[in-house]
Amino acid sequence: MDRSKKNPEQLEGLKVRPLADHSEYYATLEVQQRVWGFSDSDCVPPRLMIVAVEIGGLALGAFSHEKMVGFSVAFPGLPQLSKTGQSKKYWHSHMTGVLPEWQNRGIGHRIKLRQREEALQANIDHVEWTFDPLEIRNAHFNIERLGVVVQHFLPNQYGITSSRLNGGLPTDRLVAEWHIASERVQSILEGKSRKHIEITRTIEIPECITDLRINDTLEAKEIQTQVRQQIQEAFSQGLAVVGYKIEKQGGIYELGRLEQ
Average confidence (pLDDT) over 224-249: 97
What is the model's pLDDT at position 6?
Answer: 43
**CA atoms of 154 and 252, how far apart (whole Å):** 19
Tell me the pLDDT tens digit for each residue of 10-37.
577 899 999 999 999 999 999 999 999 8
DSSP state of 38: -
pLDDT of 5 over the 80 cut: no
CATH class of the 3-196 domain in this structure: alpha beta
Q: Average model confidence (pLDDT) for the chain?
A: 91
pLDDT at position 4, please?
42
Residue 107 burial (10 A CB sphere; 0-12, 13-18, 19+): buried
pLDDT of residue 215: 86
Distance CA 251, CA 133 (A): 10
**For 109-153, how does the pLDDT look when each residue is reduced to its tens digit (9 = 90+)?**
999 999 999 999 999 999 999 999 999 999 999 999 999 999 999
Higher pLDDT, 214 or 80: 214
CA distance 51 to 131: 23
Pairing of strands 149-154, 126-131: unpaired
Spatial separation of the C-alpha atoms in residues 114 and 66, rounded to whole Å: 17
pLDDT band with cut points at 50, 70 and 90 for residue 1:
very low
Tell me how far CA of residue 94 lies from CA of 74, 171, 240, in angstroms. Answer: 6, 14, 21
Inter-CA distances, 101 with 34, 69, 87, 246, Å: 10, 9, 42, 23
The contacts of residue 107 (CB under 8 Å, 6+ apart) are 11, 14, 16, 62, 69, 70, 98
pLDDT at 89: 87
Asked whether the beta carbons of 59 and 72 are under 8 A apart, the reply is: yes
Over residues 98-108, the pLDDT tens digits come to 999 999 999 99
